[in-house]
Amino acid sequence: MKNKDTLRKVLRRVKRYMPLIVLSTLLAALSVAGTLSIPIIIGNAIDFLVMPNGSSGLRWSDIIGCLLTAGIIAGITAFLQWLMNVINNRIAFNVVRDLRGDAFEHIERLPFSYLDSASTGDIVSRIISDADQFADGLLLGFSQLFTGAVTILGTLMFMLTLDPLITLAVVLLTPISLFAAKRIAGGTYSMFKKRSETLGEQTAFIDEIIGNQKTVKAFCREDESTVKFEEINRRLEKYSLKATFWSSLTNPVTRFVNALVYAAVGVFGAISAIGGGITVGALSCFLSYANQYTKPFNEISGLITELQSALAAAARIFELIEAQPELPDQTDAAVLEDAQGEVSLRNVDFSYTPERELIKNFNLNVRPGQRIAIVGPTGCGKTTVINLLMRFYDVYSGSIEVDGNDIRGVTRDSLRRSYGMVLQDTWLRHGTVRENISMNRPGITDEDVINAAKAAHAHSFIKRLPDGYDTVISGDGGGISQGQKQLICIARVMAQLPPMLILDEATSSIDSRTEMRIQRAFGKMMKGRTSFIVAHRLSTIRDADIIIVMNDGHIIETGNHDELIAAGGFYYKLYNSSFESA
Comparison of pLDDT for 128 and 193, the residue scoring more: 128
The number of C-alpha atoms within 13 Å of 443 and in the hemisphere containing its C-beta is 3
pLDDT one-digit tens code per residue, 467-514: 899 988 876 666 777 778 888 888 888 888 788 988 887 666 667 776
pLDDT of residue 154: 79
- The DSSP symbol for 73 reads H
- What average pLDDT does range 132-156 have in this prediction? 76
pLDDT reading at 167 higher than 90: no
pLDDT of residue 55: 45
pLDDT bracket for residue 190 (50, 70, 90):
confident
In degrees rounded to 5, what are phi and psi of residue 362? -90, 125
**Comparing C-alpha atoms, which of 281, 278, 277, 270 is closest to residue 66?**
281
Phi then psi dihedrals of residue 266, to 5 deg: -60, -45
Q: Which range, 60-64, 129-133, 142-146, is most confident?
A: 129-133
Residue 507: the pLDDT is 67
Domains of the chain from N-terminus onward: 2-321 (1.20.1560.10), 343-578 (3.40.50.300)
Give 581's pLDDT tier (boundaries 50, 70, 90): very low
Is residue 237's pLDDT more than 80? yes
pLDDT tens readout for residues 310-334 = 888 888 888 888 888 888 888 888 8
Is residue 186 over pLDDT 70? no
Check pLDDT > 90 for residue 384. Answer: no
Residues written for the chain: 582
pLDDT in tens, 511-560: 777 677 777 777 777 888 888 888 766 666 777 888 888 887 778 888 88
pTM assigned to the model: 0.65
- DSSP line for 111-170: -HHHHHHS-HHHHHHIIIIIHHHHHHHHHHHHHHHHHHHHHHHHHHHHHHHH-HHHHHHH
Check residues 378 and 407 and name the one with the higher pLDDT.
407
CB atoms inside a 10 Å sphere around CB 273: 17
